Amino acid sequence: MKLKLYPYFEGVMLALVLLTILSFCIAFTINFTPLYAWNVEKYQLAQIANLSTKELLANYNQLLAYLNFPWQTKLVLPDFPMSSSGLKHFYEVKRLFLLDYIVFILGLVPSILYLKKLWQKRQLWKFLQPIQLLLASLVILCVLMLFGFDQFFVYFHQILFRNSDWLFDPATDPIINVLTEQFFMQCFLLFFLLLLISLAILYTIGRKQLKEK
Along the 213 residues of the chain, how does pLDDT read in single tens digits? 444 555 677 888 999 999 999 999 999 999 999 999 999 999 999 999 999 999 999 999 999 999 999 999 999 999 999 999 999 999 999 999 999 999 999 999 999 999 999 999 998 899 999 999 998 998 888 888 888 888 899 889 999 998 999 999 999 999 999 999 999 999 999 999 999 999 999 999 999 988 876
| pLDDT attached to residue 6 | 56
Burial of residue 32 (CB within 10 Å: 0-12, 13-18, 19+) is middle
Q: 138: burial class by Cβ within 10 Å (0-12, 13-18, 19+)?
A: middle
What Å distances lie between residue 47 and 20, 51, 58, 145, 191, CA to CA? Answer: 39, 6, 15, 29, 28
43 touches 180 (CB < 8 A) = yes
What pTM value is reported for the model?
0.92
Within the chain, residue ranges assigned H as helices are 2-30, 33-42, 45-48, 53-68, 84-120, 128-147, 149-160, 181-211
Measured at the alpha carbon of residue 50, what is the angle toward residues 48 and 51, in degrees to the nearest 5?
A: 110
Contact 114/13 with Cβ under 8 angstroms? yes
Q: What's the CA gap between 209 and 96, in Å, rounded?
A: 37
Residue-level length of the chain? 213
Whether 112 and 25 have beta carbons less than 8 Å apart is answered as: no
* Contact assessment for residue 126 and residue 205, using Cβ atoms and an 8 Å cutoff: no
Split into its structural domains, the chain has a count of 1
- DSSP 3-state assignment of 105? helix
Provide the domain limits for residue 109. 2-211
pLDDT for position 4: 53
